[in-house]
A and B are shown apart, each in its own frame.
Chain A
Amino acid sequence: MTTIDTRGLSCPQPVILVTRELAAGKGSFEVLTDSECSLENIARLLESRNIMFETEQKDDHTIIKAKKV
C-alpha cells in the first residue's frame, strides 16, 4: 500500500499528490494530513471521483484510507 505523507505541505500540494496517485493505477493507498483544510480538499476530491474512503484520527494528524476501483 502506498502512503502519501502530506503533513506540513501547503495547499494545493496535498491534492496534487493524491491526484497523481489516483492516476497511477489500481490499489489501496493512505494519505497522512495534519491540516483540516487539506483533509476537506482531499475528501472532496475523492468524493468527486466516487472513491470510498475512511478516516482515522491520530494525535496530531489524520489518516485517510482509500481504495481505488
Chain B
Amino acid sequence: MKKNFFSTKAGIITAGSLIGITAALLVYLGNPKNMGFCIACFERDIAGGLGLHRADVVQYIRPEIIGIMIGALLLSLMKGEFRPRGGSSTVIRFFLGVFAMIGALVFLGCPWRAFIRLAGGDWNAILGILGLITGIAIGSYFIKSGYSLGRNYSQSRAAGYIMPGFMLFIFALLIFNFPKLFNSITGPGSMKAPFIISIIAGLIVGGLAQRSRFCTMGSIRDIVLVKDFHLFFGVASFTIAVFIMNMILGQFKAGFEGQPIAHTMHIWNFLGMTLSGFAFSLAGGCPGRQLILSGEGDTDAGVFVLGMITGAAFSHNFAMASSPAGTGQFGMWGTVIGLIFTFTIAFTMTMKRKSV
C-alpha cells in the first residue's frame, strides 16, 4: 500500500497548520474578522449572492468555497480517488444540511469558524465548541448504537461532475460580473480578500484537506467513539496556527463583548452549535469535509452542501439567523425544530440497523 504522507500524524499537523495560516492571512487581506475560512458563512454569502435570501450585508459568491471543491476535485482526479457515488438516504442528507446551517447561523459560524473565533480571542466560541462537542457526542452515541444512512453506490461520471460543474458555473458568473448577482456594499459580505488570493487559497485548502481528510467534526467524533486523536491533531494545529498568526498580525482580541460578527447569548451559542454538530455527525462530515467529498464525486455530500445553502436562505428569510445584536426573532424556533428533526432521524435510522 503506497503511503499518503498527509494520512500520517506529521501530515495532518502540516495540513492543519497550513490551513490555519491561510485562514488568518485571508482575514489580514480583507475577509471578515475571525472569518478567514468559515464554510457556513461563505455558503450563506453564496446563497445571498444568488439572491436566495435578501440580507444585503451577506451577499457575495465566495471564491474560497469554489476553490475548496475544485481543489479537491483536481487532487482526487490526480490520485485516482475521484469516484462518483451516491444514493445513501439522499433527501435526509439534504435536510441535515438545512438544519446544520440553521444551527450554525444561530451561533454565527461553522466548526471551522468556532476554532478560528477561539484563536482570535472570542470567548463566546467556547460555548459554541462545548455545544459542538455535545452535539457530536450525541451523534456518536447513535452511531455506536448502529445508526446508519445506508450504503452509497457507484454512479455515472456525469453525476460526479455536477457539483464541481455548478461551482465553476457560479465562478464564471462572478468573473464575468453577471449583473443579476447580488453583491454586498456594506457588512461582512463586502469584506473580501482580493479575488485571486481567495480562489488560490481555496484551491490550496481544498487540496490539503482532500489529502489529509481534515475534518473538524470527525476530530471530536473519533475521540469520543474510538479514542483516535489523529484528526484532532489537525484541528489543534489549525487552531494554534490561526492563534500564532493572529498574534503576529495583531488580530487577537480577547473577551466576550464586542467580538466581530458574534453575540453573547451563551445558551443559544451552545444550542445552535449542538444542533449543528449533531447534524454534521449524522451526515458523516463537517461542512468543509462535505465540500471535499463533493469534489471527490460524492453526490450525497453535494446534496448536503445544497441543503446548507438552502438552509442559509431559510435562516435569513425567516429571521432565524443571529446578528451581533443577538439571536434572530425565530432563531430559537429553528433550533428547536432542528433538534426535533435530527433526533427523529437519529432514532429511526438507528432502529433500521438490522437491515443494513
Query: Interface on A for B, CB 8 Å cutoff?
Result: 7-13, 15-16, 19, 34-37, 39-40, 43-45, 48, 55, 60
- The answer to whether A12 and B230 have CB atoms under 8 Å apart is no
Q: Number of B residues whose C-beta is below 8 Å from A?
A: 26
How far does the Cβ of A34 sit from chain B's closest Cβ, in whole Å? 7
CB-contact partner of A11 in B7, B81, B284, under 8 A: B284
Residues of B within 8 A of A36 (CB): 4, 79, 81
Across chains A and B, the number of contacting residue pairs, with CB separation under 8 Å, is 51
- The answer to whether A12 and B221 have CB atoms under 8 Å apart is yes
**Minimal Cβ-Cβ distance residue in A for B140:** A12
Given contacts A13-B143, A44-B230, A55-B1, contact A8 B284 (CB under 8 A): no
Q: Give the contact stretch, choosing among B16-24, B50-58, B147-155, B175-183.
A: B147-155
Residues of A within 8 A of B225 (CB): 12, 16
**Minimal Cβ-Cβ distance residue in B for A64:** B1
- The answer to whether B154 and A60 have CB atoms under 8 Å apart is yes
CB-contact partner of A34 in B1, B83, B213, under 8 A: B83
Given contacts A34-B83, A40-B7, A40-B213, contact A8 B228 (CB under 8 A): no
Residues of A within 8 A of B143 (CB): 12-13, 16
Residues of A within 8 A of B184 (CB): none
* Most chain B CB inside 10 Å of its own CB: which residue of A7, A11, A19, A48: A11
B90 is an interface residue with CB less than 8 A from chain A: no
B111 is an interface residue with CB less than 8 A from chain A: no
**Minimal Cβ-Cβ distance residue in A for B153:** A8
Known: A8-B85, A12-B143. 19 other contacts (CB 8 A): A8-B88, A8-B152, A8-B153, A10-B88, A10-B152, A11-B285, A12-B218, A12-B225, A15-B226, A16-B225, A36-B4, A36-B81, A37-B213, A39-B1, A40-B4, A40-B7, A43-B1, A44-B230, A60-B154
